[in-house]
Amino acid sequence: MTVSTSTPPNIDRPLNVIVATDCGSTTTKAILIEKVGDQYRQTYRGEAPTTVEAPFEDVTRGVLNAIAEIEELSGRKILDGDKIITPCRDDKTGVDIYISTSSAGGGLQMMVTGVVQNMTGESAQRAALGAGAIVIDVLAANDGRLPHEKIERIRTMRPDMILMSGGTDGGAVTHVVEMAEYVAAAEPRPRFGVTYKLPLIYAGNKEAQPQVKKILEDKSALVITENIRPVLERENLAPARNKIHDLFLEHVMQQAPGYKKLIEMAGAPIMPTPAAVGLIMEAIAKREHLNLIGVDIGGATTDVFSVFDGVFNRTVSANLGMSYSVSNVLAEAGLPNIMRWVPFTIDEQTLRNRIKNKMIRPTTIPQTLDELQIEQAIAREALRLALIHHKSLATGLKGVQQERTISDVFEQQTSGKTLIDMLNLDLIVGSGGILSHAPRRIQSMLMMVDAYEPTGYTRLSVDSIFMMPHLGVLSTINEKAATDVFVRDCMVYLGTCVAPIGQGKDGVVCADYDITWPDGKTMKEQLRFGELRLFPLEASTQATVKVQPAKGVNMGAGAGVAVTQQVQGGVVGLLLDGRGRPLRFSSDQQSRVVALTKWFKAVELYPEPNVER
Amino acid sequence: MVAQAELPGKVFPVNLANQLSVAPGEIKDYLIKKAGEAVAKDEILAENKPLIKWFKTEIRSPVAGTIESVSSVTGQVLLREPPRVLQLLAYVNGAIVETIPQQGVVVETTCSLVQGIFGIGGETSGEIVMAVKAPDEPLTPSHITPAMKGKVVIGGSFLSADAMKQAKAVGVAGLVVGGIHDEDLRALLGYDLGVAITGTEQVGFTLILTEGFGTIPMAAKTFKLLSAHAGQKASISGATQIRAGVIRPEIIVPQAEAQTTKATQSQREGICCGDPVRIIRDPLFGRIGDVSALPTELIKIPTESEVRVLEVTLSDGSRVVVPRTNIEVIEGA
C-alpha cells in the first residue's frame, strides 16, 4: 500500500488476529497479537535474520522466516507458500492483518537545508527527526562553509531524501533560491538505485516556490509543501513530516531489496521503526498526561523521545549504539568516562581491543560477568551522550519569543531553552536489547538512573521484549489493540527513583524520609550521601513517600522544603538515591571501585561472588 | 582498465551582484560571457561601465571551466570546472562476463579467496611474500626487508607499531596479519575509528586483519593457504563495512585454470557437531576447536542470561561451553 501514513487505511472487518514485524538492520522480529475475550494480548514471538543483503536480497524472506517461527510455536497456519493468509479462515488458519515497520538498510537518511542554522535549519532538522529520519547534515546560509564546500558536501553525501526549508512566508527569497541553486549544481544522487531521481521536499518561503520549482524540477523528484516556519514564532512541521513518510514509501522503500513485495503484503503502510516508536511514546504521554523521556538503544543508533507538556521531540544519535557503533561511544565519551562505571581495573589496551572486537563482530554477547559490566558501562555513556544531544535539539524556537499555548510554563527571557526538565519528568521508558534483555531488571533501572540522573520522583519502565515499533504501527489502525497489548504485555514498570538534588560528604545526612507502605505500616529513616537503598514495592501497589531534604538539598520545591508524593511500585521497587546530583566520582581509582562495589551490592546488581572482586 | 568516465567538475559560485554593487536582476547587462560559454582562469566574466574609467570594476573568473548558470534572483554565476577523467581499473585479473549498463562490469576469475575480519586502505595488488614461518609468530620490523617493496606481506599473530613504520618506510603494498592493538591503529590513522566503515584511508599500505584486535595467531588454514600461493600475484582490499551491507576485506589470488579443482562446498544449514569453529568473544577469544555438543535447551551462563549454547572441544582436548552467537564456523573446512 502506498497511501499516505497521515491517512491510515479504514479497515471495516474485525481485527482479531494480527501479525506484526519489525525489520531491523540485523534481525526481523515478528509478534502475534490475538483477541482473548475482550482484550488483545501478545501471544507468540519469532525472529529471524534480516535478509536485505546478498545472497537473499529480499526483505520478505526474513519476514516469512520470522512468521514461520510463530507458526511453529503457536500451531496456527499463517503462511501459504510465500503468502500470508488474510483474513482468518478459521480458528487455526490465517491472520486478519499483517503490518510492519522497517529500519533495515540503515534507516532513512536525510539531508536538510535552512537559511539560518539555528532557526529554519533546526526546524527542518526537527521535522526530519520527527518523521523517523537520521539527519546526516544540516546546510544553512550561515553554517560557516563556503558555497563550493556546501556543493561538494551535497555531492559526496548520498542521502535518501533532502528537505529544504528557509525563510518565512513573504520574507526574502534570495537565500532560499541560492541554496536551491547549490543543490541543483551539486546534482545529488540517491543512496539506492541509479535510475531514479532523488526525492526533494521544499517546505520554505512560499514566495520562492516558483523559482525553486524552476531550478530543481528537472534535477530531482520535487515535492512542494507548506512552509515549516511560516512565521518566526511558529513551527508547522506536520505537512513536511507527512510528505517525508509518503516519499519514504513511494521512493526510498521501493528501491530497497524486496520492499515492493513487503508493501504489497502489508495491510497498512510500512513505517520507519523510529516513527512508530515515537507514536507509541506520544500516545502514552497523552493518555496519562505525563512528561516522559523514552529511549531506544540499538546496535547502530540511539533514539531519544521526549514529551514535555504535550510537545513531542525525537532525536537520533546516529553513531551511538551497542554493537556497530560501540567503538564510537568510546571515541565520543572517552575511556575515563566509561571506566568510572566499571567496578574493577582493567588495562586500557585490553579494554580497547575488546571494544573493537565487539565492533567487528557485532552479534556476540557477553559471556562473563566482567564483560557484562563493561557493556553496561558503555551503555550508560551511550545513553548519557544521546540525552545531551536530545536536550540540545528539544528546545523552544530560537531567536523569538515563543508563541505556544504552554508558553506560560517556560521562562520567556531566553528563547531556545531546552524543554527537558528533569524535575518535571514523570516517566522514563527504556527499550532496546541492552535494556530489554538485561539479566536482572535492576540492571536496566540503574543504567538509566546513572545515565539520566533523574531528580525528585521519577518512575521508570522498560519494553519487555522490544515490541514498541509493532505497537506504534498497530496504533494507526487499531488504537485499542495497541493500548491493550502495550499495557499488559509490553510495558514492564521497574519502580520509582527518588533522588534529592545536592552534594555532600559521604555519610552526611542528605534527607529524612517517611514511607507509608501499602499495608499501612510506616518507616522513618535517614538517607545519607553516598548511599543507594532499594525497597521492594510490587508493581500494582503504591506507597507514600515524604522526603525532608537537609539544608541546601532540594527535592524540587526549594532547598530544605519537604515534598510528599505517592509513588508507584514495579518489578524492582523503590530506589532511594543519595549519591547526590549531579553524580560525582572520586578521582582516586581505589575509592571509586569501593563506592561502585558498595552501590552494586546494596541493590544486588550482579550475582554475589564477582561483586566482591 | 574497465571503464572511463568524465566526472562533473567542481562548482564555484561567484556573486556578481554583490561584487558589482548592482541589483541581481541587472547583472545580465554587465556580463561579458553567457551561460554555456567557456572561460579561462582570470578571464573577465563581467564588468561595469562607469563614466570615469578609474572606477571600472572587472570580475575575473577564479577557475577555468564553463558558465553553468546565471541567476537573476540571487545575482550569482555558477562556474563549473572541466570534468575529471576517471579511469576504473579491474582490480583482479580475469574475463568480463557481464556489463551492467550505467553501473559496472562483472569480472570472472578462478581464484583462491581469503576473507579478513577488518581492514583499512583500498584496493591494491602485489606478489605474496611470507615474512614469518608460523601463524603464531608476530611480525617484527626485522622481518620487513627492502625486497618487500610493492608486495603483499603475510605476518603471523601480531603487527606492532614499529613494524607498521618499517612497512611504510619500505613501501609494502599490503600487510595481512592475525591482529593488531587498537592503540596502534589509532596512532596509524591519527584518530579513533568510531564506526567500521573503511577503505579510503591513505596510510601508505592496505592492512588486513584476519582474526581481530589483540595478539591472535592467524588461523592455520588461512596461513597454509597463503603460504601455498607465495610468489603469486594477489589483489587485496581493506574495505570494511559492518553495517547496512556487510563488506569484509579480501585477498584474491587468481589462478591459472589448470591448477584449480572445482569447489565442492555445498549449501550448509546451521552448525553441526564436528564443525571447526573459532571463538570470537572473550575470555577465550581467538581459540579454535571443534563442536562436540549442541544442547537444544537454554543454558544459564555466568552473566545469568539464558541463551542457546554449544560445547567446543579445543585443540588441547579441553571442553568449553560457549553461547552460540559467540562462535563462527571456519568456512571451507
Would you kindly state where each structural domain of chain A is located, as residue ranges?
A: 17-95, 105-262, 292-611
Contact, A204 vs A239, CB < 8 A?
no
- Which residues of chain A lie closer than 8 angstroms to B194, CB-CB? 319, 325, 327-328, 331-332
ipTM: 0.80
Inter-chain residue contact A365 with B213, CB threshold 8 Å:
no
| pLDDT band at A195; cut points 50, 70, 90 | low
Q: How high is the pLDDT of residue B167?
A: 93
What 8-state DSSP symbol labels residue B326?
Answer: G
Interval A78-106: pLDDT, tens: 999 889 998 889 889 999 999 999 876 66
What is the SS3 assignment for B264? coil
Q: How high is the pLDDT of residue B268?
A: 46
| pLDDT band at B174; cut points 50, 70, 90 | very high
Q: How high is the pLDDT of residue A5?
A: 45
Candidates 3.40.50.1820, 3.30.420.40, 2.60.40.10, 3.10.20.30; CATH matching A17-95: 3.30.420.40
Contact, A271 vs A245, CB < 8 A?
yes
Greater model confidence, A566 or B76? A566
Cβ within 8 Å of B, A 179-238: 181-182, 184-187, 194-195, 211
Percentage of residues in chain B with pLDDT exceeding 90? 35
For domain B3-84, which architecture applies? Beta Barrel (2.40)
On the question of pLDDT at B38 being above 80, the answer is yes
| pLDDT band at B16; cut points 50, 70, 90 | confident
Mean pLDDT of the A213-231 span = 91
Give the integer Cα–Cα distance in Å for B129 and A201. 55
| Count, residues in chain B | 333
Question: Which set of grid coordinates corresponds to residue B7?
Answer: 566526472
Inter-chain residue contact A360 with B183, CB threshold 8 Å:
no
Give the integer Cα–Cα distance in Å for A302 and A318. 7
Interval A333-348: pLDDT, tens: 988 999 999 999 888 8
Least Cα distance to A102 among A283, A268, A328 occurs for A268
Q: How high is the pLDDT of residue B245?
A: 57
Question: Which set of grid coordinates corresponds to residue B236?
Answer: 587485496
Q: Does residue B199 sit at the A interface (CB-CB below 8 Å)?
A: no
Q: How high is the pLDDT of residue A611?
A: 44
Tell which of A173, A347, A360 to mutate to test the B interface (max B CBs under 10 Å). Answer: A360
| pLDDT band at A612; cut points 50, 70, 90 | very low
Tell which of B73, B160, B329 to mutate to test the A interface (max A CBs under 10 Å). Answer: B73
- What integer best gives the mean pLDDT of chain B? 85
Interval A20-69: pLDDT, tens: 999 877 778 999 999 988 999 999 988 887 777 656 778 898 899 999 98
Q: How high is the pLDDT of residue A95?
A: 94
What is the SS3 assignment for B309? strand
Contact, A509 vs A527, CB < 8 A?
yes
| pLDDT band at B47; cut points 50, 70, 90 | confident
CA distances from A378 to A333, A374, A451, A593 (A): 9, 6, 10, 17
**CATH superfamily name and code, A105-262:** Cobalamin-binding domain (3.40.50.280)
- Distance from A590 to chain B by nearest Cα, in Å? 24
Which of A47-56, A145-154, B273-282 bottoms out in mean pLDDT, i.e. has the lowest? Answer: A47-56
Give the integer Cα–Cα distance in Å for A78 and A76. 6
Residues ≥6 apart with Cβ < 8 Å to A384:
A333, A451, A452
On the question of pLDDT at A413 being above 50, the answer is no
Q: Which fold has domain B276-329?
A: SH3 type barrels. (2.30.30)
On the question of pLDDT at A562 being above 70, the answer is yes
- Distance from B205 to chain A by nearest Cα, in Å? 21
Facing A181 at nearest CB: one of B71, B305, B328: B71
- Distance from A239 to chain B by nearest Cα, in Å? 27
Question: Which set of grid coordinates corresponds to residue A267?
Answer: 495491510
Location of C-alpha cell 512468521: A67
Burial of A145 (0-12, 13-18, 19+ CB in 10 A): middle
On the question of pLDDT at A117 being above 50, the answer is yes
On the question of pLDDT at A406 being above 60, the answer is no
Facing B182 at nearest CB: one of A151, A178, A352: A352
Facing B244 at nearest CB: one of A106, A361, A366: A106
Instruction: Report the predicted TM-score, pTM, of the whole model to 2 decimal places.
Output: 0.82
Question: Which set of grid coordinates corresponds to residue A501?
Answer: 538534588
Contact, A524 vs A516, CB < 8 A?
no
Interval B116-127: pLDDT, tens: 999 999 889 999
Give the integer Cα–Cα distance in Å for A343 and A595. 9
Least Cα distance to A197 among A240, A255, A241 occurs for A255
Least Cα distance to A127 among A178, A83, A166 occurs for A166
Q: How high is the pLDDT of residue A404?
A: 52
Give the integer Cα–Cα distance in Å for A330 and A335. 6
On the question of pLDDT at A298 being above 90, the answer is no
On the question of pLDDT at A236 being above 70, the answer is yes
On the question of pLDDT at A412 being above 50, the answer is no
- Distance from A171 to chain B by nearest Cα, in Å? 14
- What integer best gives the mean pLDDT of chain A? 87
Mean pLDDT of the A466-481 span = 90
CA distances from A44 to A15, A40, A41, A435, A489 (A): 17, 12, 9, 21, 11
On the question of pLDDT at A415 being above 70, the answer is no
| pLDDT band at B292; cut points 50, 70, 90 | very high
Q: How high is the pLDDT of residue A54?
A: 59
Burial of A36 (0-12, 13-18, 19+ CB in 10 A): exposed
**Cα A507 from chain centre:** 37
Give the integer Cα–Cα distance in Å for B237 and B90. 13
Highest mean predicted confidence (pLDDT) among A23-27, A588-592, B9-13: A588-592
Which of A9-13, B36-40, B157-161 bottoms out in mean pLDDT, i.e. has the lowest? Answer: A9-13
Give the integer Cα–Cα distance in Å for A466 and A469. 8
| pLDDT band at A159; cut points 50, 70, 90 | confident
Residues ≥6 apart with Cβ < 8 Å to B266:
none
Cis ω for the linkage preceding B283 (within 30 of 0): yes
Least Cα distance to A322 among A336, A338, A342 occurs for A338
Q: How high is the pLDDT of residue B301?
A: 92
Q: How high is the pLDDT of residue A271?
A: 87
Does the domain at B110-257 match CATH 3.40.718.10? Answer given as no
- Distance from B150 to chain A by nearest Cα, in Å? 28
